[in-house]
Amino acid sequence: MQQPVWHAISVESALEQLQSQLSGLSQQQAKQRLLDYGPNQLPATRKKSALTRFAQQFHNLLIYILIAAAIITALLGQWIDFSVILGVVFINALIGYIQEGKAERALDAISNMLSQQASVIRDNKAMPLNAVELVPGDIVQLQSGDKVPADLRLIDSHELRIDEAILTGESLSSQKSISPCQEQSALGDRNCMAYSGTLITFGTATGLVVSTGRHTEIGQISDMLGNVDVLETPLLKRISKFARWLTLAIMILTSITFLYGFFVQGYTATDMFLAAVGLAVAAIPEGLPAIITITLAIGVQAMANRKAIIRKLPAVETLGSVTTICSDKTGTLTCNEMTVKNIITAAGNYEVSGVGYAPLGNITLINHAEKITVNSCLEELSRAAMLCNDARLYQENGQWVLHGDPTEGALVTMAMKTGQDADVLYGQCPRIDAIPFESEHRFMATLHHDHKGQYFMYVKGAPERLIDMCVTQKLSGDETPIDKQFWHDKVNELAEKGQRVLAIASKLMEKSQDLSFSDTQQGLSLLGFVGMIDPPREEAITSVKACHNAGINVKMITGDHAATAVAIGRILGIGDGKAVLTGVDIDNMDNDALIQSVQDIDIFARTSPIHKLRLVTALQSTGQIVSMTGDGVNDAPALKRADVGVAMGMKGTSVAKETAEMVLVDDNFKSIVNAVEQGRTVYDNIKKSILFILPTNGGEALTILAAIILGRLLPITPVQILWVNMITAVTLALALAFEPAEKNVMKRPPRNPAEPLLTPFLIWRIIFVSVILLFGTFGLFIFERESGSSIEYSRTVALNMLVTFEIFYLFNARYIIEHAFKREVLFGNRYAVYAVGILIVFQLILTYTAPAQLLFGTEAINLESWARIIIIGCSIFFLVEAEKFVLRYKRRKSETVVD
């Protein structure tokens, strides 16, 4: 049976549908319904055992390659390397185990947001009840401070305001009533509903339970979160593809080599088996997975220093691939503090500087730069704004803190900027009586006296309402007939800026101790309007521009109204200042239409959790790598689906934090941009590491192949190959993980998500350098053998030749295209210099100490051999720089042709 659209039907219809009444269900009815509907709680998630969770951390391609490398080193008797590799595997698994444990608590965090107690009417009696026992049809009483225990259709409401930020993402409390809404109303506009898990901030109400447990809005989010697929990161996709290609290539190469050596060159099967093992060891970049993991870990630390906490290691690289950032508005792009920006009186229009609740800023007459002197109109308006107000501002630990409604807090701040002192004003004009704000009459009124027998009333509320209630307007201390058209034009003017407009009026009263509704309906004089907005962060404006320069699209997805979203977008540089899609528009689109729309529109307003999830999925279907920001429970499904989910650390819910890959410590959009920059740097450094490590493997493999083809002894043994691979990986290649960001890192477009790990250019560079290593290493080995040196001596020379090549090549690899003839090549990354020094020490130990000679089959070599090694070794630096010069020349030439 299809559920009614509860927010679109009357109270009477809702009671009839659930066969309930205002006196509540009977205990017998409630007991039966509890059996029919089940308890009011989210279903428990099936949890993996700790052992299963830990074992699954090894189900990762990076880990498989590391384990394979460990097995090879164990078979070759390299127990130290074996222990180091297994240590890396274990630490990586332990980190993943801890982080997954946090992620698994996301659904638990949602459950903890549900109310534990409820005040329910049964058998016409009010009684406390465990919220788990609530059933559809129950009548629940609500008051300020309560957490709503289930989804309720309001049947009575008195000044009710509810903080629905966990569902809508908006910080302003929603004002509630009992009138039905349009069927297609967005969740934030359903004023006759109270949703499970939200918080009553003001007023009282009675509601009819219409949904419990998993059928509530928060329950549907929980279900959505459990069913969202997590996408594999771009890096893992590339490494998976590369590993398959490399495995196949090594199998084919070793098989052909074995057959060639056995049948053509006449080697024994044993000799060829050892040669094939040597070839496989040479070709497998066993140090690469560890270097990638360490590079990512270094990126995590660097991001933490820039206010971004990474919870899942591969997300570091994914950030560098991001092509679209979908950002929430409130608190991320904006300050999440309502601020008065404009004041309009009959005497003039004013701008207010400053942001947030700190009373710091000036008030200037529009088109006049100097600070104005507060005139009588502005002074009375600011007095009224502070007195007709229930909010208070306090300083705590040097920070201004608001106690009360954000809108009223903005008015208090504005009044303090004009010079009003709250304590003094409250003493001079004490409040006698008040009419609190109610959505039915859309205004608030307060009655005051000045200790001199003067009584006066201040009123604030919706501008359309107060314009009709006023007969005059204040102008420099005098009252003139109200110009309604003027004020209606000003309402539209401020609304176009996305500002929330409040009107403020006053009235002199006769001596009275009571304030009646009829007192507000005649004789009011309009003081003016205030326009307020949650202003964009200054740094967000520059950060959005930086994203555009980097080729990254920024899209705003908010629960706020369309006009406000467009206005904020216009200031930030998001969108074209006009186009916006609302949640209702999205509901009316099929997936194909939505996919088309998301490519052209950058602002989405009045969105729900399913809208956010659909938008992220639609963007991904166009090939975009999407980062999604959020702070509420409503954001969790989209955060989980996004390639990189980003949660707010200060104001975000625990659900959002546990679901996301990254948490912003300062809730600032700028930190996302910093993280993207760091992610790009990490990927650059991974690419440099690949560009450094793979030519080593290529040179070793080609050297062994050349020896077999020419029928010579192997110039370097499998044990020596493994030594070179591991020692250079943990010294030279590791130094590349500390490379600083390149100057143009945020001035180039995101890389193509479909780009393979090895581009044609990288393949060319790897082959080019591998050939240089082949000729130098194998050539010097042949020279030593032809000169009468022993096989051990010749292999030691070849081994040191290979390492020396890599030392010089390290400084080429620090700059992929740029030349390395610069001061920074030695001093830009101190870790590179340290790595070279450590490597030289290890090579001397390998060459000249007896235990190492016995273990690795090396022999001490003379100074003449060292001279040849160094002279030939430095040639690689100049050859690669010459290749870079040619590439830069061709690139400039092609760009000139395009221009």
Q: Are 195 and 217 in contact (CB under 8 A)?
A: yes
Q: DSSP state, 536? A: B
Distance CA 745, CA 768 (A): 26
The span from the CA of 95 to the CA of 73, in Å, is 24
User: With 0-12 CB in 10 A as exposed, 13-18 as middle and 19+ as buried, what is 48?
Assistant: middle
CA dist list (Å): 703 to 267, 768, 769, 876: 17, 14, 13, 16
Angle between helices 591-598 and 609-621 (to 10 degrees): 70
3-state SS, residue 345: strand
Alpha helices in 264-307 (DSSP H): 269-283, 287-304
- Residue pair 303/675 in contact (Cβ under 8 Å)? The answer is yes
CA angle 754, 758, 764 (to 5 degrees): 135
Examine the residue annotation and report whether 468 is marked as an active-site residue of this protein: no
What residues are paired with 457 via a beta bridge?
Answer: 447, 507
Interatomic CA distance for residues 15 and 369, integer angstroms: 60
Distance CA 204, CA 157 (A): 6
Task: From 276, 292, 265, select the one nearest 65 (Cα to Cα).
Answer: 292
**DSSP symbol at 275:** H
Side chain identity at residue 647, one-letter code: A
Q: Are 779 and 718 in contact (CB under 8 A)?
A: no
Token pair 């219809």 in the structure block, residue: 13
- Among residues 334, 335, 343, the alpha carbon closest in space to that of 501 is found at 343
Q: What is the largest CA-CA distance in the chain?
A: 120
**C-alpha to C-alpha distance for 29 and 135, rounded to whole angstroms:** 9
Nearest to 383 by CA among 342, 437, 422: 422
Coil/strand/helix, residue 668: coil
Q: Ramachandran region of residue 419, left (φ > 0), alpha (ψ -120 to 50) or beta?
A: left
Q: What is the DSSP string of 696-749?
A: HHHHHHHHHHHHHHTTPPPSS-HHHHHHHHHHHIIIIIHHGGGPPPPTTTTSSP
**Long-range Cβ pairs for the range 30-34 (8 Å, 24+):** 30/122, 30/133, 30/135, 30/137, 30/138, 33/135, 33/136, 33/137, 34/133, 34/135
CB 163 within 8 A of CB 201: yes
Q: Are 21 and 155 in contact (CB under 8 A)?
A: no
Catalytic, out of 328, 519, 631, 643: 328
Q: Which residues are identified as catalytic?
A: 328
